[in-house]
Every structure is written in structure tokens, then in C-alpha cells.
Amino acid sequence: MVSLLDIIGPVMVGPSSSHTAGACRLGLIARALLGGTPETAKVELHGSFARTGTGHGTDRAIAAGLLGYQPDDERIREALDHAERAGMTITFDNTKLRGEHHPNTTRITVRREGRSAVMTGSSLGAGRILVTAIDNFPVEITGTYPTLVVVAHDEPGIVASVATALSEGAVNLATMRVSRRQKGGDAIHIYELDSPPTPDALERIRAIKAVKTLRVVERVS
């Protein structure tokens, strides 16, 4: 089914919904995973992003997202200058990522105050995105819901404990996915929510013994 968004596109600073709006949203997700503006960012561009991204403003759009700018923010055009003034060091490299990837794909590595995150994501058109990997764990995040990204030791009861914490905080769970590299190791949990998590729910989740990291990704408009 073709939606109105597919026909007229998102509200954005141009020139391209794929190379600009989608790229900005990918930058916003990477920023959220780190918990703020990166000190350093390595942006690897794959496929069409590598071939035509500079002309379509992909570099500026990703930098804008890393700064927290939305796709309709006029400051996108000067985002690289703004990033430099903010003390962020960004490098852009054209690459060919291993495996099957959408033509408009980027891998973004961000660091800040000893923390880091590595995110791979694609811009699907009309501003839509799909994050396919976080820290080498396979995931599926669209950015259309407030999302919790939880890394926990793989053991029974974790999903039930997180679901209970959300329920007690009056937060409804929309979707949930779990991915692990091996049984008994670490697993990544993706919880998409109908509304932002409450501080109480987040504290309850952090208190679960098996939980190693908890990151909150706001819905990207």
C-alpha cells in the first residue's frame, strides 16, 4: 500500500528524503545510543550513500542528526561547521560493507567520555529508516516508536522482568525482539513502546541484576 508520505515525502530540508531526511534520522539514532553529542564520530558510507552522498548532503545530514537537529531544521546546511564549533571530530569514509545491505547504508561509530556505540542503518526512502545492527548485534529499529535497547546476560526471566517493570510504570509494549550471539552469553533486547518510558520503569529495569546496559532511543519524527 502506498502512503501519503511515500507520495509527497516528509517535512524536511532537502534535497533528498533518502540522502538527507533519512540520513539525519540515522544520525539521531546514533546520538541517542551514545546518550548525547559525540566527541568523535566515524561515518562509513556504503553503496549510493558513498557514490552520491556528498552531492545530496548525506554528510551534512548525518552530522546534523549527531548534533540533535531534526530533518526539518534549517541548520542542516551548516551542520559540518556547527559540529566543528561544538568540538565534534567527524571522519567520513566510503566503504563496501560485508553482507547484504540496502544501497543507502551507513555504519556510524560514536564515542564520548569513554562510552561508545556502533550502529549500522539504512535509509529506505521517504525519510524511513531501518537500523540493522548495534554493537555487532543484529536488530530491527525503525525509529517510529520510543525504544529501549537493553543488553543483558542471557538467562531465563529477563524479558518477563522488563515487561513487568514497564507494566508497573503504565507503559505499553508494542513490539519486542531478542538477539544473542551464543546461549549463555550476552543478548540484546529491543523494546518498542507506545509511549516514552517513565523514570520509575527505567530505574526498575536498571536494577535487574542481569542487565548490563540500558539505552533509550526517542521516537525520531
* Single pTM value for the model: 0.89
Q: Answer whether 86's CB lies under 8 Å from 67's CB.
A: yes
Tell me how far apart the alpha carbons of residues 41 and 38 are, in angstroms, rounded to a whole number: 6
Side-chain-side CA neighbours of 202 within 13 Å: the count stands at: 14
- Please give the pLDDT value at position 151: 97
CA distances from 49 to 20, 81, 162, 220 (A): 10, 21, 37, 20
CA distances from 217 to 4, 25, 80, 189 (A): 26, 11, 23, 13
CB contact at 8 A, 152 and 208: yes
What CATH number is given for 4-135 in this structure?
3.30.1330.90
Q: Which segments of the chain belong to CATH 3.30.1330.90?
A: 4-135
DSSP secondary structure code for residue 74 in this structure: G
* SS3 of residue 144 by DSSP: coil
Q: Are 186 and 154 in contact (CB under 8 A)?
A: yes
Q: What residue ranges of the chain are covered by domains with CATH 3.30.70.260?
A: 147-217
pLDDT tens per residue across all 221 residues of the chain = 444 444 334 444 544 556 689 999 999 999 999 999 999 999 999 998 998 877 778 999 999 999 999 998 999 999 999 999 999 999 999 999 988 898 999 999 999 999 999 999 999 988 899 999 999 999 999 999 999 999 999 999 999 999 999 999 899 999 999 998 888 899 999 999 999 999 999 999 999 999 999 999 999 86
Question: Which residue(s) pair with 118 in the sheet?
Answer: 109
CATH number of 147-217: 3.30.70.260
